[in-house]
A and B are shown apart, each in its own frame.
Chain A
Amino acid sequence: MRPRRAGEPSELDLMAMACLAPSLLYVLVMFVYPFLYGIYLSLRPLKVEGFSLANYFAFFSDEYQYKTVGITFRLAVPNTVVVVACSLFFAYNMRRGIWLERTVTTILVLPISLGVILLSQGILGFYGGKGWFNQMLLGLGLLEESLVLTHNFTGVMLSLFMQQFPFCFLMLLGYISGIDPSIENSARTLGANPWTVFRRVMLPLIAPGLAIAFALVFVMSFATFPSAILLGQPTGATRTIAIAAYAQAFEMYDMPYASAIAVIMGLFQLAGLLVIILLRRRIVMAATMGVGKR
């Protein structure tokens, strides 16, 4: 290639730009424009002329609205922790393959293919007041009366877990089984017991994958909508922020207020992601420093 003068674009750059254009256009049209339009809309309340933060003030001054944030966090955070912890446990212990691995994996992954509605229907039937789960426990004499597991907080948690566990498990299994086994073998020969291997060697190596898993599961849980309606109390205990936005948009026909709620939801998700990134750094640092610091 001939030498390039400063400021002059190279042929390679032009080629790269040309190849990038279609996907850039797609992102602009399908994501950036609607996103910015949503922000714009949220700043144009119906009752006020011109730009105003009135919708945001309205949300945070109305207890019925702002407590949806707390409800959503109380669903999303425990669910994320439980899903990722279970996935990590299973994926870590299955990293070198297990007996009947394919069958086990298929069973674990099946819920993903069913869709939320069918899954919720199944949970209602199985865990409901007259469902098999309660019937079985009553029949065995382990219970005096049926457990209430649906149309409340527990029901939504069950549904979220079943949707997100397979996805999270598969992601972590791929991540963990990709780590060279000789790394943990070498740690063993250097005197580390299995727990130390996990804590000092494997966990820092899994941390990036774990952070991605946390981020994705958290964002999905935070945006939960169908589960909260089908298996929860959409007007009470499980009125999540997504339901609040939906109600403003399609029950009150106040699109600007709904947009404001959606933007608020996005900001909280972003805050969650930031916390996850900071925690990830801590995991890696804690393990690398370890005992006997330099």
Chain B
Amino acid sequence: MPRTLTDALKAIAANPSAQLIQGGTDLMVEINFNHRKPTDVIALRLVDELKSVQIDTKKSQVTIGAGLPYQQMEHGEIARHLPALAQAARTVGSPQIRSAGSIGGNLGTCSPAGDALPVLSALDATVNLQSAEASRSVSVHDFMVGVKRNARLPGEIIVSTTLPIVSGWQGYAKVGVRNAMVISVASCCLVVNRANGTIAVALGAVGPTIIRCRETESWLASQMNLKINATISPNLLQEFGDRIANESKPIDDHRSTATYRRHAVSVLARRLLTRANSQ
């Protein structure tokens, strides 16, 4: 079992199709239910490099190791610079899950309901990958390619993600069947960049992968001055919600219906926009 990133990269270079496991909160469910029977496993939980955090205030960015447990993002420096990520981290499962689950796991599984993923999308995060020979950085938008499909190549390990520190308001909200220990039925991350006068809205669990609402974003910027904290008229807020719902692509499944999800995601987005403009 590798204890350094170098050893982990050597192991996956020798066996590029080996199953990677970090916290186990996704993979072990599949194994427990006999949906997957791995023979070759590379466990990353003892690799300390994957739990590092670099806060670079000069470049205004935070790089978070792919294996850092969500528990570590709920408070402290990460929460101060990336409040939406802290909120998303707090909504992940239970304390037991948050001490194991990580952004690397969310990206590796690439479920549209992964709680960190709308935050990564709304912040235009970068995913940093490494193999024994090379390293590369990919925009999170290019990394998430579909339902449980991502752009990681055989032989690569997701090592970290880099997120910008944005001045302005940001928040995350989700709907589930209970308050704790729940997988998203619909989720939303909204980031207002006051310096640029732009807004970013990303939706989770309402499409094959995370959806960025780029049309609604540019429409809203044309309707109001996002550089200042202005009151939003009820009509504008309603149209914003309707446009968000139109950009979502939900389905009926065991967790909810498309109709409910479309409604829920519109409510979440309106709620976040209201909060953004009442601070």
Partners in one complex: no
A residues adjacent to B (C-beta < 8 A): none
B residues adjacent to A (C-beta < 8 A): none
